[in-house]
Amino acid sequence: MQKYPRAIEGSNIGDGSPLVLGDETLVSNMHAPCDPTSTIHVLDWDCDGEMEMLSTGNDMYSHKFINFLDDGTPVVDRGVRLGEMSRAPHRDEKDEGLTGCILVAADFDNDGNIEVILKPRYYSKSPHIAMKLSKEHDKYESNHPEVIFHDTDGEIEKTDRGKFEKGTVAAADWDSDGKIDLIILDTENEQYSLNEKFQKIVPEDQRLRYSKEGKWPVTFPAKILTLYKNISKGSSIAFQHHKNSSAKVPKHTKWISLVNPKSIESGLLLATYYGRVYYMPINLNGTDIDFGAYSELFTIQDQPFNSANNIDINIGVADPFESNRFDIFAGDRSQNPIWCKYLGKDGSGKPVYDTPKKIKQHNPHVSNSFFSVPTVGDWRNTGMPDLLVGGVEGYILWYKTISINPLRFSKPEKLRYGTTEIRRLSTPNPSAGYTWGGSQSPYDGDTGGYSNPVLVDWGGNGLLDIIVSDMIGLYDYYPNWGNKEEPELGPPQRLTIIGGEPLRGPWRQKPGIGDFTGTGKPDIVIQDLDLDLAIFRRPENAETNIVLPGEKLLYEDGKTIKTHGVYTPGGGDGRGRTKINVVDWDGDGLLDLLIGVGPQHGSPFRGSYVLFLKNVGTNNSPVFKHPQVVLWNKQGKPLEFWRHGVHPEPVDWNGDGKYDLVAGSDQGRVWFWNREHFGEAANGNYDAVFRPDGEYGLGDDRVK
């Protein structure tokens, strides 16, 4: 096993590394290569006297502060990887990494080194562990002790899995005994659906989470602040419950931090699920503390502190610049680390911060946040396909290709039609016949919509337009009103089935688009509401936004093609996530399917893989072979991506007439493979395997 730390992967040569801008002089928004369980902390982990910024989620990364923009915004390097976390958060078996992200960091045992407490990952049965960070402790596989929590009587607590979430712990010596204690944001009751059929669970069918009026009928958990006293001895890290506070906290609070970790009297910052940040004063009471009433923070511009940034990765403070000033470091919904400069206190004693700014990075990864979805096309008639990337916030980023050899991109810019930024939001849309809204909560609809863009000449006039799908399974056409050299998008048109119903499918799909009919205007392939792949053809002499009813696509044996949700409730459960490409992958003149799938919720595919379905019929009457895996690792096993799926897109940047491949995934990066790096199956069989239950899927020795 390669020793840590090691450089974070990034290259544009097509060897399966994640794409970067390709120019060390370029500075743009940093993306934390993590996942929704990510946390961001600033600390001197290697004891060299300089602060580093750590991001943890799927892995642990460290970034050095190397310079600053004119407004003070920090700029960091590409960074190094310190160790592996759990490979897949939904699995317990054969988990070889650390258990999860950094929950809190401090020198809890007073040995001069920082200890980080790691939370267990999702459904893992692993305990909370404490790991030392120093140059002498850079291997994650060393022995890490379990963190022990005691109740008020000294008995060992059985820690609640949902009790200690990311960012819900603040470290402070609140009893002034020289040891760092904990303030924990605890949960009094569980969230559950009010739907009588699904009492005390949240239904997997997204539509069942909403009432007929499109409202979210859910009771949310009450939050309380609890105090835990540090009772660590030697190298053993332990805490004892001291008391529960009666102080009220804002509804939906998820993350807490001290304003100044060196001073308990500085007060507490509280950030909510959907972006508000509050301040709570703390008063000393002997060896105990009392919490005051909270109030919302406003920026120096007198705007709600976080209204435009939506902190979604823990909130914390640090003084990396040795300025005796504790600034906020956190992450937004796109996993862009953000920085907020501390400006002092207002007349009431509340801290005041400047507007949050995204931290910058030299030669950063190509990304558009969590769930990056790429599409490519020669949008400016340069002979070089540009790269567009959708993401969880609903924006679409445009990376212009500025050279092929070497492959380099410009800094991204948000797509617009006219002067309006394109942003797909998943708020309820009754006009489309839906009341789904967001996914896990109603706030998802206000903060993102999972844009899935496709560059394609939809209008048949030689210009590349954009088709975009989103969280609620609807599809819009943005016509290109410009020219081949200067694209200009017009307002969206909703794709509609002839007769008036909107084209719709499960959530988060990327549609496949190609001219199966031979009319010069491409058709669209999506997962229909039966969870089968279906083609919706274009009628003659109809408006560009009109399609015919779907025709189910079939395998050679006559079975329909399912990719997700085989065993979930009928009628479409919102568990789409399939990413479809229509492309002549093997160069035989027939349109094939290249599909990215994911493993969860009854899918026949037991991992997130890129699959090739060969067309053995005709273009007008396509019939497909059962899937073959496209990408393989060096051991000859299918290259498996993260749990929500993989988002592939064929591309021919080098102009050799053969498709290569880019792909996004959970982590937000976009990987690139030349064909020579696709890999080979160890047994020479590239086909998906037949399962005993009668469905087709990929074998996985982790699933029994």
What is residue 299's predicted lDDT score, i.e. its pLDDT? 74
What is residue 463's predicted lDDT score, i.e. its pLDDT? 96
DSSP string, 53-96: EEEESSEEEEEEEEEE-TT--EEE-S-EEEEEB-S-TT--TT--
Q: Are 661 and 630 in contact (CB under 8 A)?
A: yes
Q: What are the beta bridge partners of residue 41?
A: 54
| Cα-based angle 456, 513, 369 (whole degrees, multiple of 5) | 70
**Could you give the CA distance from residue 372 to residue 353 in angstroms, rounded to a whole number?**
31
What is residue 211's predicted lDDT score, i.e. its pLDDT? 55
Per-residue DSSP letter, 200: T
Strand, coil or helix: 535: strand
Q: Provide the CA 495 distance to its chain's centre, in angstroms.
A: 27
| Cα-based angle 268, 101, 608 (whole degrees, multiple of 5) | 135
**Could you give the CA distance from residue 635 to residue 675 in angstroms, rounded to a whole number?**
17
What is residue 700's predicted lDDT score, i.e. its pLDDT? 36
What is residue 701's predicted lDDT score, i.e. its pLDDT? 31
Which parts of the chain sit beneath pLDDT 70?
A: 1-3, 33-37, 58, 84-99, 121-126, 135-144, 158-167, 188-221, 274, 286, 306-310, 427-447, 564-576, 599-607, 643, 688-704
**Could you give the CA distance from residue 210 to residue 203 in angstroms, rounded to a whole number?**
10
Where does 268-418 show beta strands of DSSP type E? Answer: 268-272, 277-280, 282-285, 288-291, 295-296, 311-318, 327-332, 337-340, 342-345, 351-353, 357-358, 360-362, 373-377, 386-390, 396-399, 401-404, 407-409, 413-414, 416-417
